[in-house]
Amino acid sequence: MQITPLHWTQTIPIRQRVLWPNRPPEFCHVAGDEDALHFGAFVDDELVSVISLYIRNNEARFRKFATLVEHQQCGIGSVLLTHTISIAQEKGTTRIWCDARETAVEFYERFGLMKEGELFYKSGVGYYKMARIL
């Protein structure tokens, strides 16, 4: 597996396929993509996982973290998230956070992120804000 910086447009197919398969690709483009850092994990030259890191002041937010279903539960997402947290630290941020799907809370807890606040919904999907001090 290799982790490589990406252009934001390279993240859209996996974002859409994994996170929002019933929505058009445009739905998966978010404000700030043009200024964010994007990373992808490649296995045998195939892009299988993506994550985007948005840094503002001393805070980092990761979004649109997705791994193709056939590559989940293989440790790829864990390596990619660890890489992203390291980049956030290198950039001098002191906190990292995300809006975590309710189904992914346990995964993020393994990286030291903790729930902040109550369950909320975006486009019918349950989320918790989760964060960690770096």
Give residues with Cβ within 8 angstroms of 6, minimum separation 6.
Answer: 38, 39, 40, 47, 50
Confidence grade of residue 33 (pLDDT, cut at 50, 70, 90)? very high
Calculate mean pLDDT across residues 11-37.
Answer: 96
Sheet architecture: strand order including 95-101: 2-6, 37-43, 46-56, 59-67, 95-101, 125-133, 114-122
Report pLDDT for 98: 98
Give 65-121 pLDDT, tens digit per residue.
Answer: 999 999 999 999 999 999 999 999 999 999 999 999 999 999 999 999 999 999 999
Confidence grade of residue 37 (pLDDT, cut at 50, 70, 90)? very high
Closest to 6 measured CA to CA, from 36, 44, 32 = 36
Per the prediction, the chain carries an average pLDDT of 97
Q: Does domain 2-133 have CATH number 3.10.290.10?
A: no
Report pLDDT for 27: 93
Confidence grade of residue 42 (pLDDT, cut at 50, 70, 90)? very high
Report pLDDT for 60: 98
Closest to 17 measured CA to CA, from 5, 27, 6 = 27
Report pLDDT for 29: 95
As a whole-number percent, the residues of the chain with pLDDT over 90 amount to 99
Is 0.75 surpassed by the pTM of this model? yes
Report pLDDT for 110: 96
